[in-house]
Chains A and B, each alone.
Chain A
């Protein structure tokens, strides 16, 4: 009798365990970032939060959320509305229009190589201290998606498919803001651009034209463009320092940039250096999209600098308006800059809706 009782209890225990294990043993499939050769040979590895590892299911969920208008109050816009793949995940207007037809004050930032922003200060003014936290903001911004997270979570929770997609990605069907932004961040970290003509030149796979090489020389020469102190160099293929500078756009500021975030007047007018990759797809330029073309940008650095108390000391010949490039030098510099664009990135099928 005792033996039979033990047997029954034991059987019940194992059956119970097998049911629970079916749930608790499930793990999403790891999907580490594929580090491009030009990165692994030159710069330190990407920043992946320990509490949000990349997984196949997490990235897939993040991609779906990124393109889904369910995040906006009136179901008219998604992240991709202002961060379109064909524009290297920015848009083509100076500032972006939100769900209510209101334009913001900043140019939408292109999205690529985000995992290599080592200080993890995102947005033009550095106010977002991680990619996950950045993803929270546009949803609730009244001139962007103009929603609130409670409503977003309720919609996702009541959706016929999302609870299962969250279970696959995070092992729970209980949807939260934290998990939603984690998934979006996972997708965003997969947006890696490292296949420009210049990348292939650096790897010995192609040659640059004489004009592009001249442009590189101007870019690197301290007595010419001197672009490299803020925008990287062939050994730093991010083509940005991801740091904050006042590059002399204005004599007075209507937008304080980093200064509004830190409260330090010495930071007024400072904005994050954008990467020079993919300029062919990201016009207009600057934090407010004031320059429609790359020619206008180069003209600005050559002759259009405005002095102000916080202008970066790396800016030169301010009293003359800039570095005074000749027409030929400008053309060469532009040719080099365009060699940093990566058509395979904007056409990557993994990044399309």
Chain B
């Protein structure tokens, strides 16, 4: 009698494990690996320093510092269901830190119509107090709207007088009326959609970042016009917002 009871319980246990419900499938990890290039030429930290890259406008430039934040990684299913991870990651090419990011939350395998994330921080997230971003000195002063840089890109270019000059391509939330009561003409964070993918296992997305795009389309960027003190310049911020949209693309997917 006792043996029969044990057999019965074990059978129930195994039958439940054999369920075909995909929601019961083991969840998998997702990793985002950021790879940077200049129109196809790989850029690593050791490429920083010398003036050696040419923008679409013909300006020769160098890199001194390049770091940006991505956030709110979102997996969307065909039925519109979304898994949004309320996370962020500060990618720093200058020191090659956080070049790969694996959110703690694992997701269910399956067909996703879109995998996306936010460049920068949406306004809600930008109003938070992030101790690690503060420690990284990534803040935007309150009179410029507060919150954080979306991107800090510092370098030098050869100006129209053939002199080396610094540029600070700092993307933030566009702001007008810097001071006690700043106003915001439009949002300048944006969504980067890596496209549809079927996830079957632990997966690594290579995210290609073509830095040359920030100077190329749709706005041909003239560093002699826009080089420094761009944070309080909402016109420049909106141009950056428009140019950044094509800088990110999906590379290899490994799973």
Q: Which residues of A contact B (CB under 8 A)?
A: 41-44, 116, 118, 217, 220-223, 226, 228-230, 232-236, 238, 241, 243, 264, 266, 307, 309, 311-316, 318-319
Contacts and interface: CB of A to CB of B under 8 A. Distances in A.
Interface in B121-162: 129, 131-132, 134-135, 137, 139, 141-144, 154-156
A234 B165 CA distance: 29
Contact of B64 (A118, A230, A313): A313
Given A228-B139, A241-B137, A266-B49, 8 more contacts: A43-B134, A221-B232, A228-B141, A236-B134, A307-B164, A312-B154, A312-B166, A313-B154
A267 B65 CA distance: 13
7 contacts: A116-B135, A220-B143, A221-B141, A228-B137, A235-B134, A243-B137, A266-B48
B135 A44 contact: yes
B168 A313 contact: yes
Interface residues of B, number: 31
Contact of A118 (B135, B165, B230): B135
- Counting chain A CB atoms within 10 Å of each CB, which of B49, B141, B228 scores highest? B141
A43 B138 CA distance: 12
A316 B134 contact: no
Nearest to A266: B49
B132 A316 contact: no
Most A C-beta atoms less than 10 A away, residue of B50, B137, B144: B137
7 smallest beta-carbon distances between A and B, as pairs:
A313-B166, A266-B49, A220-B141, A241-B137, A313-B154, A43-B135, A235-B134
- Interface residues of chain A: helix, strand, loop or mixed (majority): loop
A264 B49 contact: yes
A236 B132 CA distance: 10
A243 B135 CA distance: 12
Nearest to B130: A235
A223 B155 contact: no
Contacts of B166: 311-316, 318
Given A43-B134, A233-B141, A313-B156, A222 B231 contact: yes
A159 B171 CA distance: 60
Interface in B162-214: 163-168, 178
Contact of A44 (B65, B132, B164): B132
B168 A217 contact: no
Contacts, number: 79
Contact of A42 (B129, B142, B168, B229): B129
B232 A222 contact: yes
Contacts of A223: 229, 232
Nearest to B49: A266
B223 to A, nearest CB: 11
A306 to B, nearest CB: 13
A43 B139 contact: no
Contact of B137 (A41, A220, A232, A309): A232
A316 B229 contact: yes
A220 B140 CA distance: 9
Interface in B20-76: 48-50, 64-65
Contacts of B132: 44
A228 B143 CA distance: 13
A185 B60 CA distance: 46
B2 to A, nearest CB: 46
Contacts of B49: 264, 266
Contacts of A315: 166
Contacts of A220: 141-144
A343 to B, nearest CB: 25
A97 B232 CA distance: 46
